[in-house]
């Protein structure tokens, strides 16, 4: 059973590619009944569907750059209008630019909401390249694995659901990961100061085990949504 929250929380996970935002967002979603909202997932879905936004985003994503604020904000706003987000959201991979952060603040203010906490996952850059370049997921249940750090117990079989199909993101290779890391430092890391100024910044050492990080995040989220 998910723990309940009294006010709908708006949580932001900040951190470079490979920091564990997606993994931790899924765990928080399960534990607190919040909705994980990943602009990367929304963009990948748009690419797969071949929508105009997806067509425009595809080459930028493959090169490891940032998709335009215009496209990302349109996709995000569309998703924020669905009723399930009333339970509260974990923004994973959004905002990534100052313009997106300002647009989010305006969107929340208009709806009588505000950011509950912006949590920066602090990690070591070089380790992130290795994490990203080796990761893959079960195509059936989405469980995450890594070529060296987290292999399946039985080769080719998902530990969680028994699925035998796996997938790798097109942009999860060392070269693109370096570009994504550059984009993070140039355009997203400055948002840490924005949220510190707003008084909602939290930082978590994200080089430890998945469970230790989840526990640190759980403590913050319990406080933020109480
Ligand atoms: P992610 O799944 O969060 O690692 O995102 C994968 C890719 O999607 C990024 O490298 C960007 O090209 C694009 N993307 C995802 N979210 C955003 C965003 N908020 N702003 C701009 N580009 C984004």
- Over its length of 226 residues, how does the chain's per-residue pLDDT go in tens digits? 556 545 579 999 999 999 999 999 999 999 999 999 999 999 999 999 999 999 999 999 999 999 999 999 999 999 999 999 988 999 999 999 999 999 999 999 998 899 999 999 999 988 999 999 999 999 999 899 999 989 999 999 999 999 999 999 999 999 999 999 999 999 999 999 999 999 999 999 999 999 999 999 999 998 875 5
Catalytic residue among 31, 150, 169, 196: 169
Tell the residue nearest (CA) to atom 2 of ligand 1. 40
Tell the residue nearest (CA) to atom 15 of ligand 1. 40
Q: What pTM was estimated for this model as a whole? A: 0.91
Q: Which of 125, 119, 116, 76 is nearest to 99 (CA)?
A: 76
* End-to-end Cα separation, the chain, in angstroms: 17
């Amino acid at each position: 059973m998910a723990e309940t929250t009294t006010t709908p929380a708006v949580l932001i996970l900040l951190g470079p590619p490979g920091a564990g935002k997606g993994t931790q967002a899924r765990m928080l979603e399960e534990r607190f009944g919040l909705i994980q909202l990943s602009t990367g997932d929304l963009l990948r879905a748009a690419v797969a569907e071949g929508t105009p936004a997806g067509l425009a985003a595809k080459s930028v994503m493959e090169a490891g750059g940032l998709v335009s604020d215009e496209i990302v904000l349109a996709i995000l706003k569309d998703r924020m209008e669905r009723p399930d987000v009333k339970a509260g959201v974990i923004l994973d991979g959004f905002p990534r630019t100052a313009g997106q952060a300002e647009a989010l603040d305006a969107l929340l203010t208009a709806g009588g909401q505000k950011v509950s906490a912006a949590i920066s996952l602090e990690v070591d850059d070089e380790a992130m390249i290795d994490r990203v370049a080796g990761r893959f997921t079960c195509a059936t249940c989405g469980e995450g694995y890594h070529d060296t750090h987290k292999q399946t117990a039985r080769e080719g079989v998902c530990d969680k659901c028994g699925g035998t199909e796996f997938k790798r993101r097109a942009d999860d290779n060392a070269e693109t990961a370096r570009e994504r890391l550059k984009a993070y430092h140039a355009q997203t890391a400055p948002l840490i100061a924005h949220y510190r100024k707003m008084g909602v910044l939290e930082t978590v050492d994200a080089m430890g085990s998945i469970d230790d990080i989840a526990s640190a995040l759980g403590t913050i989220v319990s406080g933020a949504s109480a």
